[in-house]
Amino acid sequence: MFDLTGKTAVITGGGSGIGKEAAQLFAKHGAEVCIIDLNRQDATGTVNVIIEAGGKARSFTGDVSNQQQVGQVIGEIGSVDILINNAGIAHIGKAHTTSEDDFDKVYKVNVKGAYNCLHAVLPLMVKQNSGVILNVSSVAALVGIEDRFAYSVSKGAIQAMTFSVARDYIANNIRCNCICPARVYTPFVENFVANNYPGKEQEMLDKLSRSQPIGRMGTTAEIATLILYLCSDEAAFITGCDYVIDGGFTKLNN
């Protein structure tokens, strides 16, 4: 099951966190993984781990918010069977406390970044009459989360983008789904808490864990496993869906 031999998978933000976990898992199942990441060191590190384990991987340094850069990278890769739009940034703030610059920054990376990758990859998938796209959204697209205005807006756009692409390209044998994780323990979360809540890191991590009825944050391995399934042939009947993976956050919180 979940055999990806001979397939090329592009993973944005694959240098760390969920993207890194997915990259390693996809390589383990036979895919050639192409990582696009703004951080050259992180991307190279993930590739080295994959190659040392006997897998196939390449790294590309690029800013997903720059359409020209994305186009050049996808041109170098050549053919794409799977696209995982994972790259993203977070932001703390309500509507009236979010500056225009911060709003634009979140939009450029989270929304325009995904669009740029779709814009570059979809013509290749249409030409080969096949492809799978997985967008990483968030529970923030589904429920109100305090002080996450810009981030929530961007993830809502990702969800809508998923449905639109799934509808427009179903006749081309291209599937498109998204996942909506709740809080997942990653280096990104560690750094985010350290930068925004100095001196209260453990308190905030405990608070984030308790906010989910299951009593903990998700793991990158748990998220990557769902991504693998949705991108595999075993999920060939699934398109235009948003999969919540949240430890009960959206349905069990009162």
Distances in Å between the Cα of 160 and the Cα atoms of 91, 95, 157, 166 are 20, 21, 5, 10
Closest CA to 150 of 140, 135, 160: 140
Structure tokens, 138: 């968030």
Quickly tell me which residue has 């069977």 as its tokens: 81
Query: Which one of the listed residues 107, 115, 151, 185 is annotated catalytic?
Result: 151
- Residues ≥6 apart with Cβ < 8 Å to 97: none
Dig out the tokens for 108 from the structure: 């450029």
| Cα gap 143→111, rounded to integer Å | 19
- Is 141 in contact with 96 (CB distance < 8 Å)? no
Instruction: Assess contact for 59 and 32: CB atoms under 8 A.
Output: no
Verify whether residue 115 is a known catalytic residue: no
Catalytic residues: 151
